[in-house]
Amino acid sequence: MKRILFFSFILFSSQFLFSQQTQKPQLYGKNWMAITGKTYGAEAGAQIFQKGGNAVDAACAMLAAVCTMWTTLSWGGETQAIIYNPHTGKVFSIDALGWAPTGATADFFKNKGMNFPPEYGPLAAVTPGTPGGLCYMLAEYGTMSLKDVLAPAMQLASGYAIDAPLCNVIEANKKRIKDWPYSKAVFLTHLGEKREGPEQGEVFVQKDLLETLTKMVEAEQDALKKKKSRKEAIYAAYDRFYKGDIAKEFVRGCQEQGGLITMEDLASWKPVEEEPLHVNYKGIEVYKLQQWSQGPAMLQALNILENFDLKNMGYNSTRYINTIYQTMSLAFADRDFYYGDPYFQPQEPIQGLLSKEYAKERAKLILPDRNNADVTPGDPYPYEGKTNPYLNLLQQRGIGKATAAIDSLYMQRLWLGTTSIEAADKEGWVVSVTPSGGWTPACIAGHTGVGMSQRMQSFVLDSTLNPFNVVEPHKKPRVTLTPSLAMKDGKPFLAFAVQGGDTQDQNLLQFFLNVVEFGMTVQEATEAQNINTDQLWLSLGGEKIDDRKPHPGHILINNGTPEYVRKDLQKMGYIFTTRERTSGPINAIYFDTKHGTFWGGSSNYGVDYGIGW
Bridge partner list, 33: 424, 612
What pLDDT, in 10s, does the model give residues 310-346? 999 999 999 999 999 999 999 999 999 999 999 999 9
The span from the CA of 331 to the CA of 310, in Å, is 17
State the average pLDDT over residues 16-22.
59
The answer, yes or no, to whether the previous bond of 585 is cis (omega within 30 of 0) is yes
Inter-axis angle of helices 146-157 and 230-242, nearest 10:
40
pLDDT attached to residue 71:
76
- pLDDT score of 410 more than 80: no
Residue spans of the domains in the chain: they are 39-272+426-458
What pLDDT, in 10s, does the model give residues 101-144? 999 999 999 999 999 999 999 999 999 999 999 999 999 999 99
State the average pLDDT over residues 229-253.
98
Confidence of residue 14 (pLDDT cuts 50, 70, 90): very low
Give the C-alpha distances (Å, rounded to integers) separating 151 from 64, 282, 319, 376.
9, 43, 51, 49
φ, ψ (nearest 5 deg) of residue 201: 90, -15
Q: Report the phi/psi class of residue 542: left, alpha or beta, with left for phi > 0 and alpha for psi in -120 to 50.
A: left
What pLDDT, in 10s, does the model give residues 29-77? 999 999 999 999 999 999 999 999 999 999 999 999 999 999 789 999 9
The span from the CA of 53 to the CA of 71, in Å, is 27
Confidence of residue 401 (pLDDT cuts 50, 70, 90): low
Give the C-alpha distances (Å, rounded to integers) separating 225 from 150, 170, 238, 353, 432.
19, 41, 17, 51, 33
Ordered DSSP codes for 49-103:
HHTT--HHHHHHHHHHHHHHT-TTB-TBSBEEEEEEETTTTEEEEEEE---PPTT
Confidence of residue 15 (pLDDT cuts 50, 70, 90): very low
- Contact by Cβ (8 Å): 320, 310: yes
Confidence of residue 607 (pLDDT cuts 50, 70, 90): confident
Non-local CB neighbours of 569 within 8 Å, separated by 6+ positions = 318, 321, 322, 555, 557, 576
pLDDT attached to residue 16:
32
Q: Give Dmax over CA atoms of the chain in angstroms.
A: 85
pLDDT attached to residue 402:
54
pLDDT attached to residue 141:
98
pLDDT attached to residue 542:
84
pTM of the model: 0.95
Q: Helix-strand-coil percent breakdown of the chain, rounded to 5?
A: 40, 15, 45
Confidence of residue 11 (pLDDT cuts 50, 70, 90): very low
Bridge partner list, 590: 494, 599
Q: How many CA atoms lie within 13 A of 583 on its CB side?
A: 27
The amino acid present at 368, given as its one-letter code, is: P
The amino acid present at 92, given as its one-letter code, is: F
pLDDT attached to residue 359:
98
State the average pLDDT over residues 435-443.
95
Confidence of residue 403 (pLDDT cuts 50, 70, 90): low
Confidence of residue 563 (pLDDT cuts 50, 70, 90): very high
What pLDDT, in 10s, does the model give residues 265-307? 999 999 999 999 999 999 999 999 999 999 999 999 999 999 9
pLDDT attached to residue 397:
77
pLDDT attached to residue 583:
75
Give the C-alpha distances (Å, rounded to integers) separating 210 from 152, 157, 237.
11, 5, 14
Q: How many CA atoms lie within 13 A of 68 on its CB side?
A: 33
Give the C-alpha distances (Å, rounded to integers) separating 336 from 329, 361, 548.
10, 19, 11
Non-local CB neighbours of 436 within 8 Å, separated by 6+ positions = 72, 73, 77, 78, 418, 419, 455, 479, 481
State the average pLDDT over residues 498-503.
91
pLDDT attached to residue 18:
44
What pLDDT, in 10s, does the model give residues 332-390? 999 999 999 999 999 999 999 999 999 999 999 999 999 999 999 999 999 999 999 99
State the average pLDDT over residues 542-551.
88
Q: How many CA atoms lie within 13 A of 551 on its CB side?
A: 22
The span from the CA of 230 to the CA of 477, in Å, is 33
H runs (alpha helix) in 226-348: 230-242, 245-256, 263-268, 296-305, 310-313, 318-338
pLDDT attached to residue 480:
96
pLDDT attached to residue 334:
98
State the average pLDDT over residues 552-579.
94
Sign of CA dihedral 444, 445, 449, 450: negative
pLDDT attached to residue 66:
97
Which letter does DSSP use for residue 11 in this model?
A: H
Confidence of residue 581 (pLDDT cuts 50, 70, 90): confident
Exposed/middle/buried for residue 84 (C-beta within 10 Å: 0-12, 13-18, 19+): buried
State the average pLDDT over residues 208-231.
98
Please report which helix (H) or strand (E) contains residue 425, including its range: strand 421-425
The amino acid present at 93, given as its one-letter code, is: S
Non-local CB neighbours of 2 within 8 Å, separated by 6+ positions = none
Query: Kindly report the CA angle at 165 between 203 and 48, in degrees rounded to 5?
Result: 65
- Do the bridges between strand 575-579 and strand 554-558 make them parallel or antiparallel, or are there none, so unpaired? parallel
- Contact by Cβ (8 Å): 330, 362: yes
Which letter does DSSP use for residue 107 in this model?
A: H
Query: Kindly report the CA angle at 243 between 239 and 245, in degrees rounded to 5?
Result: 100
Residue burial 504-536, b: 16+ Cβ < 10 Å; e: rest = bbbbbbbbbbbbbbbebbbbbbbbbbbbbbbbb
- Do the bridges between strand 430-433 and strand 421-425 make them parallel or antiparallel, or are there none, so unpaired? antiparallel
What pLDDT, in 10s, does the model give residues 73-94? 999 999 999 999 999 999 999 9
R_g over Cα of the chain: 24
The span from the CA of 302 to the CA of 277, in Å, is 13
Q: What percent of the chain has pLDDT over 90?
A: 87
The span from the CA of 274 to the CA of 460, in Å, is 24
Confidence of residue 487 (pLDDT cuts 50, 70, 90): very high
Distance from the Cα of residue 463 to its chain's centroid: 25
Give the C-alpha distances (Å, rounded to integers) separating 1 from 8, 9, 86.
11, 12, 53
- Contact by Cβ (8 Å): 141, 60: no
pLDDT attached to residue 123:
98
Bridge partner list, 342: none
Tell me how crowded residue 343 is: count the other CB atoms within 10 A of its CB.
14
